[in-house]
Structure 1
Amino acid sequence: MIPVQDVEGQTIAVLGLGRSGLSAAKALAAGGAQVLVWDDGATGRAAAEAEGWELRDLTGAGAFEGVALLVVSPGIPHLYPHPHAAIANALRAGVPVDNDIGLFFRSWATEDWDQFSGMPKVVAVTGSNGKSTTSALIHHVLRSVGRPVQLAGNIGRGVLDIDPAEDHSVVVLELSSYQTELARAITPDVAVFTNLTPDHLDRHGGMGGYFAAKRRLFAEGGPDRAVVGVDEPEGLFLAGQLAVGPGDDRVIRVSSGQKLDGPGWSVFARKGFLSEYRKSRQIGSIDLRAIPGLPGAHNHQNACAAYAACRALGLGPRQIEAGFADFAGLPHRSQIVAEAGGVRWVNDSKATNVDSAAKALQAFDRIRWICGGLEKEGGLDALHPHLGRVVKAYVIGREAEGFALRLGPGAEAEVCETMEVAVARAHAEAASGETVLLAPAAASFDQYDSFEKRGEDFIARVTALTD
C-alpha cells in the first residue's frame, strides 16, 4: 500500500466504493486522515459499514462541513453530462476534488529514495485503444530483463494498492481519460499516447474535451519523455506542441503503417517490421510477424509504443525483442482461444467500439465475425471498408436485427441474438483456414456485466465445442 502523504488529521470524503474507492480510503486512513465514505448503491454502503467505515450522505445539505478533500472514483461524472450531486455539493462548498491517481502522484516519492542508487520511474499510458496491451507489454519486457516493475491503474492492481518503490523500480500505469482528467497531480517520467478515436464523448462534452483529458498527462505532467502516436491529427498536433524543434528527442513519435522521417526520434512499423530511427539513421529493428501475442497492425502500433517507452528507460533493442517474443497477449484482446480443424478462434471482446473492431478485422483474413451489443454513438460506417475480409457476420445483442441492417449489403449477416447461437452457427459453418473472431464493435451491457464476462462466455462455449 502507498499511504497518502500530508493528510494527517484531515477529514477526507471518498465517493464510490469500488476497487479504487476502497483502496483510496485505506491509503488515506494509513496516512492519518479521518475518512468518510459514500456510495449510491445500498450494497456498497452496507459492505463499507460492515468493514467499519464511517458513512456520510455526501449529497445532502452541509455534507462537506469540515471536509478538506473529496476523492472520486473514475466512473462518476464530475462535469459532463452533469456533475454527480455529491461533486456539485463539494464544488459549491469550495472543497477540492481529486482521484486515486492524484493521491498516488503526490505520495509516491518518499525520503527513503535518498538511499537508492537509481531513482524509481513511472510510465503512464493513455489513449483510446491499445493502452492495456501497451502497458502489459512494457511490464512484460521490464520483467524479462529483471527490472523490478509493477502494473497498476486501469489494469492490474489499484494504484494505491501497489508496494512502495525500491531501487531502480518502475510502475507502469494504464490511465483512462476519466483518470487523467481529474487527477490534481500527474507527473510521470515517461508518458505514452497510443491513439485517439471517438469514445466516452458524453463524459467529456465532445471530442475536444476527450482529447483535452488525454492531453493533461503531457501538458500538465511534464514527462521527461513523451511517446506519441501520430497516426491521427490529435497525436500529430500533440507531438508538435511538445517538441521545441524537429530534432527534439524528448518526443518519440510512433506509427503503424507509415515511415516517419526527420531528425528526431521515431519508431514505426510497416509490413510487419518495426524500425527505430534517430537523427535520420536506423538504429534498431524487429520482425513482428512471427510474434503470436502481437497479431495485426493495431498490435504493431502497441509494440512500437511499448518499444519506445522501454528505450526511453534505457533498454536495448535486443532486450526488447526478446521480451516481445514470449509475450502471450492479454485476455479478451486478440486472444487465441483455440485452433481446431484448421479454424482459429479469437476473443477480442475488448473491441467495444467501431475503431477497435475495425483494427481487429484488419488483423485476419476469411473471418466469421461475431459482433453486436450495445451500440455506441457514431454508427458503423467505419467498419464498411473492412467487410471484404468477412465471410459472414453472426450478430448478437438485444438489438441484433438493427445492428445487422446497419452493416449494410457488404456483409452477409445472420441474426443470432445470443452468444450460444452465434458460436454454434460459426462452428457449424467455418472451414479450414478461416478465423472465428469475436470483435463486437459495441458495449456489452445489454447482455453482460462487462466485456470480460462476454469474452469468458465466448471462451466457455468455444472450449465446449472444440476440446
Structure 2
Amino acid sequence: MIKVQGMAGQRVAVLGLGRSGLSAARALSAGGAEVLAWDDNPPARDAATAAGLTVTDLTRAGAFEDVARLIVSPGIPHLYPSPNKVIAAAQEAGVPVDNDIGLFFRSLATPDWNGFDQPPKVIAVTGSNGKSTTSALIHHVLTEAGKPAQLAGNIGRGVLDIDPPGDGGVVVLELSSYQTDLARALTPDVAVFTNLSPDHLDRHAGLGGYFAAKRRLFAEGGPDRAVIGVDEDEGRYLAGQLSEAPGDDRVIRVSVARKLSGPGWMVFANKGFLSEYRKGKQVASIDLRAVPGLPGRHNHQNACAAYAACRTLGLAPRVIEAAFHSFAGLPHRSQTVAERDGVRIVNDSKATNVDAALQALLAFDNIRWICGGLEKDGGLAGLKPGLDHVRKAYVIGREAAQFALGLEGVEVEICTTMARAVEAALTEAAPGDVVLLAPAAASFDQYDNFEQRGEDFIAEVRARL
C-alpha cells in the first residue's frame, strides 16, 4: 500500500466506494487521516462499514465543515454534463477536490529513496485506444528484462494498493481521461499519448474538453520524456507544444501512418516493420509481423509506443524485441479465442468505439463481424475504410436494426442477441474466415461492461465447438 502523505490528522471525505474509493480510503487512514466515506449505493456503504470505515452522509447540509479535501472516484462527474451534488457542495464550501491518482503522485516518494542507487520511475499511459495493451506491454517488457515493475491504475491494481517501489522499481500506470482530468498532482517520469478519437464526449463537453483532460498529464507535471502518437492533429499539436526545438529528444514521436523524418527521436511502423530513428539515422528495426500477440496496425502502434517508453529507460532494442514475442496480449483485445477448421475466432470486445473497431477490421480479412450495442456520438461513417474486409455483419443489441442502417454496402443479419450472432457466424464461416467480435459500441444496453460482453461471446463460442 502507498500511504497517503501530508494529510495526517485531517478530515478527508471520500465519495464513491468502488475499487479506487476503498483503496483511497484505506491509504488515507494508513497515512493518519480521518476518513469520511460515502456512496449513494447502500450495499457499498454497508461494505465500507464492514471494512471498518466511518460512513458519513456527505449529502447533508454542513457535511464539509472542517473537511480538508474531497477524494472522488473516476466514474462520478465533477463538471460535465453536470456536477454531482456532493462535489458541487464541496466546491461551494471551498474544499479542494482530488482523486486517487493525485494522492498517489503526492505520496509516492519517501525518505527511503535517498538511499536508492536508482530512484523509482513512473510511466503513465493515456490516449483513446490502446492504453491497456500499451501499458501491459511495457510492464511485460520490463519484467522480462528483469526490472522490478508494477502495473496499476485503470488496469491491474489500484494505484494506492501497489507496494512501495524499491531501488530501480518502475510503476506503469494506465490513466483514463476521467483520472487525468481531476488529479491535482500528475508528475510521471515518462508520459505516453497513444492517439485520440471521439469518446466520453458528454463527460468532457466535447472533443476539445476530452483532449484537454488527456493533455493535463503532460502539461501539469512536465515529464522527463514524452512519447506522443502524432497520427492525429491533437498529437502533433501536443508534440509541438512540448518540444523546444526540432531535435529535442525529450519528445519521441510515434506513427503508424507514415515514415517520420527529422533530427529528433522517432519510432514508427511501416508495412509491419518498427523502425527507430535518432538524429536522422536508423538505430533499430523489428519485424512486428512475426509477433503473434500484436496483430494489426493498431497493435503496431501500441508496440511503437511501448518500445519508445522502454528505450527511455535504457533497454536495448533486442531485449525489447525478445519480450514482444512472449507477449500473449490482453483479454477482450484482439484475443484469439479458438481456431476451428481454418476459422479463427477473435474477441475484441474492448473495441467500444468506431476508431477501435476500424483498427480491428483492418487487422483481418474475410471477417464474419459481430457488432452493435449502444451507439456513441458521431455515427458509424468512420468504419467505411474497413468494411471491404467484412464478408457479413451480425448485429447485436437492443437497437440492432438502427445500428445496421449505418453499415452501408455490407451484408447484414439482425441478430439482437450474442447467442444468435455466434450461431449464425460460426455456421456460415468457411476456412480462411475470421469470426470477429468488435462491437464499435458501448455494451450497456445488454451488459454491465465490455468484459461481460466478451465473456458471453467466449462462452457462446465454446458451447458450439
Give the alignment's TM-score, normalised by structure 2: 0.99
- The amino acid that maps onto 1:149 is A
Alignment partner of 1:289: what SS? helix
Instruction: Give % identity.
Output: 74
Aligned-pair CA distance for 1:385: 2.3
Match of 2:142 in 1: 142
Alignment partner of 1:123: what SS? strand
Aligned-pair CA distance for 1:60: 2.0
Match of 1:326 in 2: 326
- The amino acid that maps onto 2:66 is G
The correspondence of residues 324-363 of structure 1 with structure 2, limited to 5 A, is 324-363=324-363
Match of 1:57 in 2: 57
Match of 1:424 in 2: 423
Match of 1:457 in 2: 456
Q: 1:222 aligned to 2:258?
A: no
Alpha-carbon distance in structure 2 between the residues aligned to 1:404 and 1:8: 56
Aligned-pair CA distance for 1:50: 2.2
Q: 1:289 aligned to 2:279?
A: no
- How many residue pairs get aligned? The number is 465
Alignment partner of 2:385: what SS? helix
Match of 2:396 in 1: 396
- The answer to whether the 8 A contact 1:253-1:267 is kept is yes
Match of 2:266 in 1: 266
Aligned-pair CA distance for 1:464: 1.8
- The amino acid that maps onto 2:282 is Q
Alpha-carbon distance in structure 2 between the residues aligned to 1:169 and 1:384: 44
Aligned-pair CA distance for 1:335: 0.2
Aligned-pair CA distance for 1:53: 1.6
Summarize deviations over 1:158-183 as a string: whole Å, max 9, x none.
Answer: 00000011010000000000100100
Alpha-carbon distance in structure 2 between the residues aligned to 1:127 and 1:465: 37
- The answer to whether the 8 A contact 1:348-1:438 is kept is yes
- The answer to whether the 8 A contact 1:124-1:172 is kept is yes
Alpha-carbon distance in structure 2 between the residues aligned to 1:363 and 1:445: 26
Summarize deviations over 1:161-220 as a string: whole Å, max 9, x none.
Answer: 000110100000000001001000110000000000000011111111111100010011
Alignment partner of 2:453: what SS? helix
Alpha-carbon distance in structure 1 between the residues aligned to 2:176 and 2:126: 6
Alpha-carbon distance in structure 2 between the residues aligned to 1:418 and 1:109: 50
Match of 1:375 in 2: 375
Match of 1:97 in 2: 97
Match of 2:81 in 1: 81
Match of 1:442 in 2: 441
Alpha-carbon distance in structure 2 between the residues aligned to 1:406 and 1:276: 39
Alpha-carbon distance in structure 2 between the residues aligned to 1:51 and 1:259: 54
- The amino acid that maps onto 2:152 is A
Alignment partner of 1:179: what SS? helix
Match of 1:108 in 2: 108
- The amino acid that maps onto 2:83 is P
Aligned-pair CA distance for 1:230: 0.1
The correspondence of residues 401-420 of structure 1 with structure 2, limited to 5 A, is 401-408=401-408, 410-420=409-419
Alpha-carbon distance in structure 2 between the residues aligned to 1:385 and 1:276: 28
Aligned-pair CA distance for 1:463: 1.5
Alignment partner of 1:7: what SS? coil
Aligned-pair CA distance for 1:54: 1.4
Aligned-pair CA distance for 1:222: 0.4
Aligned-pair CA distance for 1:52: 2.4
Match of 1:316 in 2: 316
Alpha-carbon distance in structure 1 between the residues aligned to 2:297 and 2:406: 25
Alignment partner of 1:68: what SS? strand
Alignment partner of 2:320: what SS? helix
- The answer to whether the 8 A contact 1:119-1:169 is kept is yes
- The answer to whether the 8 A contact 1:257-1:297 is kept is no
Summarize deviations over 1:85-135 as a string: whole Å, max 9, x none.
Answer: 000000000000000000000000000011111110000000000000000
- The amino acid that maps onto 1:447 is Q
- The amino acid that maps onto 2:398 is R
- The answer to whether the 8 A contact 1:257-1:271 is kept is no
Summarize deviations over 1:392-416 as a string: whole Å, max 9, x none.
Answer: 00000000111111212x1000000
Q: Unpaired runs of 5+ in structure 2? A: none
Match of 1:238 in 2: 238
Alignment partner of 2:253: what SS? strand
- The answer to whether the 8 A contact 1:342-1:433 is kept is yes
- The amino acid that maps onto 1:399 is E
- The answer to whether the 8 A contact 1:310-1:320 is kept is yes
Alignment partner of 1:294: what SS? coil
- The amino acid that maps onto 1:416 is C
- The amino acid that maps onto 1:295 is P
Aligned-pair CA distance for 1:45: 1.1
Alpha-carbon distance in structure 1 between the residues aligned to 2:436 and 2:320: 29
Alpha-carbon distance in structure 2 between the residues aligned to 1:308 and 1:118: 20
Aligned-pair CA distance for 1:306: 0.2
The correspondence of residues 4-15 of structure 1 with structure 2, limited to 5 A, is 4-15=4-15
Report runs of 4+ in structure 1 exceeding 4 Å deviation.
none
Alpha-carbon distance in structure 1 between the residues aligned to 2:40 and 2:355: 33
Aligned-pair CA distance for 1:57: 1.6
Alpha-carbon distance in structure 2 between the residues aligned to 1:214 and 1:462: 37
Q: 1:40 aligned to 2:12?
A: no
Aligned-pair CA distance for 1:59: 1.9
Alpha-carbon distance in structure 2 between the residues aligned to 1:57 and 1:407: 48
Q: Unpaired runs of 5+ in structure 1? A: none
Alignment partner of 1:55: what SS? coil
Alignment partner of 1:8: what SS? coil
Alignment partner of 2:463: what SS? helix
Aligned-pair CA distance for 1:47: 1.3
Deviates more, 1:57-66 or 1:255-264: 57-66
- The answer to whether the 8 A contact 1:397-1:446 is kept is yes
- The answer to whether the 8 A contact 1:358-1:383 is kept is yes
Alpha-carbon distance in structure 1 between the residues aligned to 2:284 and 2:464: 44
